[in-house]
Every structure is written in structure tokens, then in C-alpha cells.
Amino acid sequence: MSLLSIRNLQTEFRGPAGIARAVDGVSFDVNPGEIFGIVGESGCGKSATCRSILRLFAGATARIVGGEVILDGSGDLAAMREADLARVRGRDVAFIFQDPLTALNPTMRIGKQVAEIIRRHRQVSRSAARAAALELLRDVHIPSPERRLDAYPHELSGGLRQRVVIAMALALAPRLIIADEPTTALDVTVQDQILRLLKERRDRNGTSIIFITHDLGVVSQVCDRMAVMYAGRVVETGTVRDVLDRPSHPYTRALLDALPGQGGRDRDLVPIEGSPPGLIAPPPGCRFAPRCPFAGPACTQGMAPPLHPRPGATADHLDACILTEVPHAPA
């Protein structure tokens, strides 16, 4: 049984130029205790997909217009009243944003910020909440946590701030954590520590994690299963080993071929030519077809192709390419 099952999710942004369908028929499942990676070029809808899960949209122009977000035991979050969804946020599903500063209140000591999350959802005394906050700072390996409780966010480094944000996400022991590029603003060693921290939490508590990143190396290092998104849709999904070692969609292949020195070979970066289509009036057929070296006439007609398994592939390895044989791009 999946912990989270997203079915045919559609989310629109209303703007002066028209309505952009940033999420257009996205489906995937996240299993209990699994780290699920979402990758794809900037603007493909990774954040919009994940914000749709909790309806955490910045601004009022975003709207879910179709599909389901089934959280095991809670029902369809997409159909839930705002007041009920507010209880799910933090308690069952927590969100970690890219920039820790936007998630922290600059005028409040960090111990109090962590404690307040606990007090908002649970009937506990001020001192018990403070003790729990201290424990959480310890859990995320913040050095001298007793001293840090009374610090303000600006007194901490970026890495420590992101640890505080993670402590806040862990505060109510959620079953699912959504981490939207939680390490991109951090230097490489700190990135590594944060990744280890999230993995540790999964290993110890069986917490599921959705991990959005641009970095295929990170996906290969920490994720179990993954989805590759392109222009508002999932074009390939499966285990990380299937998708990265046996990619079947031309877009996934192009992404992998664009990696420098992949597979131990010294290869020059191969940028993918062209740019993704606009989301206000996307072209018919496969949205990657205009950039795809293998596209034929059938690729640019009709509906965008749905995800399907390929003959001989693992049952949960799906892609959305209609070509039966996709040759590897020349190395």
C-alpha cells in the first residue's frame, strides 16, 4: 500500500498572459519508508507538484483543477477543506523549503520556533515543548544545542539554519517529508551532511521523503525511486537503478548524456538543444518531441502520451514515449 498516491494531478497558475497548466496529469506513488526523487529542468513543475500536495501556494493564482492526492489514512488531500488540510500540514506531511530563511521567523529565538510547532498541534506545557525542541536540535546534530535554543536565526550559519528547519519538519514526527531542493543554497560538505541527516531519519523512523533536486548524483546517492518531469508531466518513473541505469525515455537519456564524465568516462557536457515549450499552450503530442532526436510524425499528434511499462521492463518502470525502440544517443 502506498503512503501517497498522486493521480492525474492538474494545477494551474493564472497570469496576465493566460492560464499555465504547470502540473498536467502527474501521477506517482510514494511507498512507506521510501525516498522518492523528482528531477527535471527548471520550470518543469517540480515545486508546483509538491506544493499542490499541501496546497502551499505562494500567492492566490494557483489552483488544483483535477486529480487526486491520496494520503493513506487521510483520504484525498486535494478535496479536503482548508481547515482539515491545515491539520495534516506538519503533523502528517511536512515541507522543507529551499531557502531556510523564508521558513524561519527572524525575530524569534529558534528554540521557541521549534517549540511553538509542537504546542500548536499538541497539548503540552511550555517546558515540555522546550525540552522536546532541545531533543530535536540534538537529533539534527546541532552542536551545543542548549546554547542554540536561545539563538536567533541570523546568528546561525546557513547549514545550521537548514538543520533547524529540518528539526521543525521532524517536530511532529510526520510520515512524509517533502524537501524542495533543501541543499542547493548550501556548500557541498553541508549538503552532504543534510542528505545524511534525512537518510538517517528514514532509516530510524521509516519516514518517507520526497526529494526534489537538479542533481542526478544526489538522486543516485539517496533516492530509492524517482520521477523525471518535463513540461508539467512525468515522462519516466521507476526505481533509481532502472531509470538511471536503463533509461528508456529520450529526455531521461538526454539528461544523462548531458552529465560530464558519466560512467567514469571523460565526456564533454552535451547540453540539450532548444528549450521546453510554454505551459500556456503546449504543442500537441509529446512535449519533448520538438527537442527529441528520435521523434517521428506520430510524436507530434494528439494527446500527450501517458506513462506505460515497456515490454521486458520491470513492472514499475514506466515511461511516456510512444516509440518502441529508443536508440541511445551517440556518446
Ligand X SMILES: Nc1ncnc2c1ncn2[C@@H]1O[C@H](COP(=O)(O)OP(=O)(O)OP(=O)(O)O)[C@@H](O)[C@H]1O
Residue ranges binding ligand X (CB under 6 A): 13, 15, 20, 22, 40, 42-48, 58-59, 61, 279
> Nearest residue by C-beta to Mg ion?
47
Q: Which one of ligand X, Mg ion, none interacts with residue 104, CB within 5 to 8 A by kind? A: none
Q: Which helix (H) or strand (E) holds 221?
A: helix 216-222
Taking a C-beta distance cutoff of 8 angstroms, is the pair 63, 51 a contact?
A: no
CA 140/CA 47 separation, integer angstroms: 25
Buried b (16+ CB within 10 A) or exposed e, 127-145: eebbebbbebbebbebeeb
Question: What minimum distance in Å lies between the beta carbon of 233 and ligand X?
Answer: 11
Strands of 62-71's sheet, edge to edge? 18-30, 4-15, 62-71, 75-76
Q: Which residue has the cell 513543475?
A: 45
What is the phi/psi pair of residue 47, to 5°? -65, -40
CA 1/CA 297 separation, integer angstroms: 40
Question: What minimum distance in Å lies between the beta carbon of 53 and ligand X?
Answer: 12
Whichever of 35 and 292 has its CB closer to Mg ion, that residue is 35
Taking a C-beta distance cutoff of 8 angstroms, is the pair 19, 280 a contact?
A: yes
Question: What minimum distance in Å lies between the beta carbon of 20 and ligand X?
Answer: 5
Q: Which one of Mg ion, ligand X, none interacts with residue 15, CB within 5 to 8 A by kind? A: ligand X
What is the phi/psi pair of residue 42, to 5°? -55, 135
Which distant-in-sequence residues (6+ apart) come within 8 Å of 127 by Cβ? none
Q: Which one of ligand X, Mg ion, none interacts with residue 118, CB within 5 to 8 A by kind? A: none
Q: Which one of ligand X, Mg ion, none interacts with residue 105, CB within 5 to 8 A by kind? A: none
Question: What minimum distance in Å lies between the beta carbon of 24 and ligand X?
Answer: 10
The CA-atom distances, in angstroms, between 238 and each of 37, 77, 269, 329 are 10, 24, 25, 21
Whichever of 40 and 182 has its CB closer to ligand X, that residue is 40
Question: What minimum distance in Å lies between the beta carbon of 185 and ligand X?
Answer: 12
CA 37/CA 252 separation, integer angstroms: 14
CA 164/CA 167 separation, integer angstroms: 5
Question: What minimum distance in Å lies between the beta carbon of 46 and Mg ion?
Answer: 5
Cell, residue 14: 493564472
Whichever of 169 and 279 has its CB closer to ligand X, that residue is 279
Whichever of 42 and 144 has its CB closer to ligand X, that residue is 42
Which distant-in-sequence residues (6+ apart) come within 8 Å of 278 by Cβ? 20
Q: Which one of ligand X, Mg ion, none interacts with residue 176, CB within 5 to 8 A by kind? A: none
Q: Which one of Mg ion, ligand X, none interacts with residue 153, CB within 5 to 8 A by kind? A: none
Residues in the site for Mg ion, rule: CB under 5 A? 47
Whichever of 178 and 240 has its CB closer to Mg ion, that residue is 178
Question: What minimum distance in Å lies between the beta carbon of 104 and ligand X?
Answer: 20
Residue type (1 letter), 14: R
Whichever of 64 and 70 has its CB closer to Mg ion, that residue is 64
Whichever of 140 and 195 has its CB closer to ligand X, that residue is 195
Q: Which one of Mg ion, ligand X, none interacts with residue 44, CB within 5 to 8 A by kind? A: ligand X
Q: Which one of ligand X, Mg ion, none interacts with residue 48, CB within 5 to 8 A by kind? A: ligand X
Whichever of 24 and 319 has its CB closer to ligand X, that residue is 24
Question: What minimum distance in Å lies between the beta carbon of 181 and Mg ion?
Answer: 6
CA 287/CA 99 separation, integer angstroms: 31
Taking a C-beta distance cutoff of 8 angstroms, is the pair 152, 111 a contact?
A: no
